[in-house]
Amino acid sequence: MTVKSYRPGSIRRIALIAATLALGACDAVNKAIDEIDDINSNADVYYYVSLGTSLSVGAQPNGSGIVLPTDDGYADQLFDSIRPVFEATGAQPRELRLVKLGCPGETLDDFVNGISCPYLAGSQLAAAVDFLNDNSGMVHLVTIDMGGNDFRNADCMDAIDPLDCANTVSAQIAADLAPVLAALRNAAGPNTTIVGMNYYNPYLSSWLEDAAGQAQAMVSAQAVSILTDILGTTYATAGIPLADVAAAFQSDDFTTIVMSSQPAPNELLPLNVNNICEFTYQCDPDPVGPDIHANTAGYSLIADTIEAMLP
């Protein structure tokens, strides 16, 4: 089974939205932000910069199944949670602002070379480095999720040997991600917190189909665990903490059986399968689903998992 992320009819619409989003959130973002009045004329302005894929911009399908960026993503919810405490502490008045530079569909190659979204700086990485350099000492937090689209695009669940495929693509993700993290760490400086994240497993929804789907869900857990382990090693090597979203979604727990909101014969589900249904649109009926993106509750769980990693 190939997990679906975007409806074919909405691809062009997503591309247009992504282009608009990127153009407003790259090099020109500094000028736009500078034109916004401070909440206090004496406040120092700091930033939370969100980088990554469609998850970083809160992408969700609307009632027609068109996937669009929202203000309900993990970055938005994390920002809302940390902002009051940040602004209430410190010797001088200060304000925290959210800058979302993410791009729907972004792979690591896109992130570096600027293929998916038209950043004025040339790529999401270049836009992020420029912003970090231009606002040195004033970036409070950077979050990043990258690698999920690389893994999804490899279609390992349809491969003859899914685990061999997962090993191969995960190794490539690690090789491509390492210099990205080094560049961000260098641009951000030692005092800016950077937090990465791993991923929940949308392939678990195949459990709902039949016995073959259940077998595939179990294989997918092994495959995604390979990616999870390699991401953990890559971020640890870079000295960047990693939010364990896979664990928060209890992605490997086939043992605990819970009541679900799914129709018969899926009233009882393994906890990990139920969580995918509860926290994403992957089990939703047409036209909204199936869609791999987190719903608002899922994004909240991701935000909480990242926040737990903050100093």
Domain that holds residue 175: 8-200+231-245+297-307
Q: What is the mean pLDDT of residues 176-185?
A: 98
Q: Which residues of 268-292 are buried (b: 16+ CB within 10 A; e: fewer)?
A: ebbbbbbbbbbbbbbbbeeebbbbb
In terms of pLDDT, which residue wins out, 20 or 276? 276
Tell me the per-residue pLDDT of 244-297, one tens digit each, with 9 for 90 and over: 999 999 999 999 999 999 999 999 999 999 999 999 999 999 999 999 999 999
Would residue 141 count as lying in a domain? yes
Is residue 165 a part of any domain in this protein?
A: yes
- Of the candidates 222, 229, 184, the residue with the CA atom closest to the CA atom of residue 204: 222
Whether the predicted pLDDT of 157 surpasses 60: yes
Dump pLDDT digits (tens) for 192-244.
999 999 999 999 999 999 999 999 999 999 999 999 999 999 999 999 999 99
174 within some domain? yes
Determine the pLDDT at residue 285.
95
Fill in the amino acid letter for 5. Answer: S
Would 239 be classed as within a structural domain?
A: yes
The verdict on residue 275 lying in a domain is no
Task: Identify whether 12 is part of a domain.
Answer: yes
Cβ partners under 8 Å of residue 134, min gap 6: 30
User: What CATH number did the domain enclosing 236 receive?
Assistant: 3.40.50
Comparing 4 with 54, which gets the higher pLDDT?
A: 54
Q: Does residue 263 fall inside a structural domain?
A: no
- The whole-angstrom distance between residue 240's C-alpha and the CA centroid of its chain comes to 16
CB-count burial class (<10 Å; 0-12, 13-18, 19+) for 177: buried
**Residue 97: pLDDT above 60?**
yes
Report pLDDT for 41: 52
Pairing of β 139-145 and β 44-52: parallel
The verdict on whether omega for the bond into residue 61 sits within 30 degrees of 0, i.e. cis, is: no
Contact 56, 100 (CB under 8 A): yes
**Residue 40 domain-assigned?**
yes
Q: How many domains does the chain have?
A: 1
Q: Which residues pair with 143 in a beta bridge?
A: 50, 195
Closest of 302, 288, 303, 300 to residue 60, by C-alpha: 288
Are 178 and 111 in contact, with CB atoms under 8 Å apart?
no
Q: What is the pLDDT of residue 43?
A: 86
User: What's the chain's average pLDDT?
Assistant: 89
Residue type, position 286, single letter: D
Number of C-beta neighbours around residue 210 at 10 A: 11
- The answer to whether the CB of 205 falls within 8 A of the CB of 277 is yes
| pTM of the entire predicted model | 0.89
